[in-house]
Chains A and B, each alone.
Chain A
Amino acid sequence: MDKPIIETSKLNFYYGSFHALIDVNLKVGRNKITSLIGPSGCGKSTLLRIFNRMNDLIDGTTTSGSVLIEGREILGPQVDLVDLRKHVGMVFQRPNPFPLSVFENVAFGLRIRGERRKNVLEEAVCKSLSSVLLFDDLKDKLSLNALQLTLEQQQRLCIARLIAVTPDLLLMDEICSALDPMATMKIESLMLELKKQYTIVIVTHNMQQAARVSDECGFMLLGELIEFGDTKKIFTAPDDQRTDDYITGRFG
Chain B
Amino acid sequence: MIDSKLKEKAAFAILLAATIIVIAPVALILAIILINGLPALSFEFLFSIPRDGMRGGGIFPALVGTFYLIVGTALFAIPFGILAAIYLNEYAQRNRLTRAIELAIINLSGVPSIVYGLFGLSLFVEFLGFGASILAGSLTLAIMTLPVIITATREALSAVPRSFREVSFSLGASRWQTVRGVVLPNAIPGILTGTILGLSRAAGETAPILFTVAAFYLPKLPTSVYDQAMALPYHIYVLSTQVPNVSVKVQYGTVLVLVGMIFILNIVASYIRSYFRKKKTW
Residues of A bordering B, CB below 8 Å = 52, 54, 57, 59, 81-83, 85-86, 89-90, 92, 94, 96, 98-99, 108-109, 111-113, 145, 147-148, 158, 161-162, 165
> Is the CB–CB distance between B166 and A98 below 8 Å?
no
Contact in complex: B281, A94 (CB < 8 Å): no
Could you tell me the distance in whole angstroms from the C-beta of A169 to the nearest C-beta in chain B? 12
Task: Contact check, B171 vs A92: say whether CB atoms are below 8 A apart.
Answer: no
Provide the B165-208 mask, 1 if CB < 8 A to any CB of A, else 0. 11111111110010001100010000000000000000000000
Check if B166 sits within 8 Å of A99, measured CB to CB: no
Q: By DSSP majority rule, is chain A's interface helix, strand, loop, or mixed? A: helix
Shortest B183–chain A CB gap in Å is: 11
Instruction: Identify which of A57, A94, A108, A148 contacts B171 (C-beta below 8 A).
Output: A108
10 tightest Cβ-Cβ pairs between the two chains A and B:
A86-B172, A90-B170, A85-B172, A109-B171, A96-B163, A147-B281, A112-B173, A112-B177, A99-B281, A99-B282
Render B103-141 as a binary contact track against A, CB cut-off 8 A, 1 for contact. 000000000000000000000000000000000000000
Is the C-beta of B91 less than 8 angstroms from some C-beta in chain A?
A: no
B169 contacts which of A57, A108, A158 (Cβ < 8 Å)?
Answer: A57
Given contacts A96-B161, A109-B172, A162-B170, 8 further A-B contacts (CB under 8 A): A59-B94, A82-B172, A85-B169, A89-B170, A92-B170, A108-B168, A108-B171, A113-B172
Cβ-closest chain A residue relative to B167: A96
Q: Tell me what chain B mostly uses at the interface: helix, strand, loop, or mixed.
A: helix
The size of the chain B interface, using a CB distance under 8 A, is 22
For the complex, what is the distance from the CA of A81 to the CA of B161, rounded to whole Å? 21
Residues of B whose CB lies within 8 Å of any CB of A are 93-94, 161, 163-174, 177, 181-182, 186, 280-282
The residue that A54 contacts in the complex, of B94, B161, B166, with Cβ under 8 A, is B166
Which one of A83, A89, A111, A161 contacts B181 once the chains associate, using CB atoms below 8 Å? A111
Known: A98-B182, A99-B186, A147-B281. A165 touches B171 (CB 8 A): yes
| A161 touching B171, Cβ below 8 Å | yes
Known contacts A85-B170, A162-B171; A59 and B93 CB within 8 A of each other: yes
Chain A residue numbers with a CB within 8 Å of B167 are: 92, 96, 98, 158, 161
Q: Which residue of A lies closest to B182 (CB)?
A: A98
Question: From A114, which residue of chain B is reached at the shortest CB distance?
Answer: B177
| Complex Cα–Cα for A86 and B169 (A) | 10
Assembly CA distance A114 to B170 (angstroms): 17
**Taking the nearest CB of chain A, how far is it from the CB of B174, in angstroms?**
5
Bound: A83/B169 CA distance, A: 11
**B174: chain A residues within 8 A (beta carbon):** 82, 112
Given contacts A98-B182, A99-B186, A108-B181, contact A52 B170 (CB under 8 A): yes
With contacts A85-B172, A165-B171 known, is A145 near B281, CB below 8 A? yes
Q: Are B172 and A96 interface neighbours, CB within 8 A?
A: no
CA distance A165 to B168 in the complex (A): 12
Q: How far is the CA of A92 from the CA of B162 in the complex (A)?
A: 12
Question: In the complex, how many angstroms separate the beta carbon of A53 from the nearest chain B beta carbon?
Answer: 9
Q: Which one of A54, A83, A109, A158 has the greatest number of beta carbons of chain B within 10 Å?
A: A109
